[in-house]
Amino acid sequence: MKYSEFRKWLKNQGAEFKPAKGSHFRVILNGKTTIFPDHGSREMGTGLVSRLRSSLD
């Protein structure tokens, strides 16, 4: 999955994005917050995807 695809998925889930340093965003979903590195068309590792999903669940 690409960073841009995961960001679209998060937006569809109702996530709110706030700018952080560089190409990173603070993501707020269901009252939980995490940092999301947005590197566009680059592929995300499966470990990062699962870590971000678990930190927002």
Name the burial class of residue 46, with classes exposed (0-12), middle (13-18) and buried (19+) by CB atoms within 10 angstroms of its CB. exposed
What percent of the residues of the chain are helix, what percent strand, and what percent coil, each to the nearest 5?
40, 30, 30
Q: Which two tokens stand for residue 11?
A: 């937006």
User: For residue 37, which amino acid is it?
Assistant: P
Indicate the pLDDT class of residue 50, thresholds 50, 70 and 90: very high
Mean pLDDT of 1-23: 93
Enter the pTM of the model.
Answer: 0.83
Note whether 25 and 18 are within 8 A (CB).
yes
pLDDT at 5: 93
For the domain spanning 3-56, the CATH number is 3.30.920
pLDDT over threshold 90, residue 16: yes
pLDDT at 57: 84
pLDDT at 32: 94
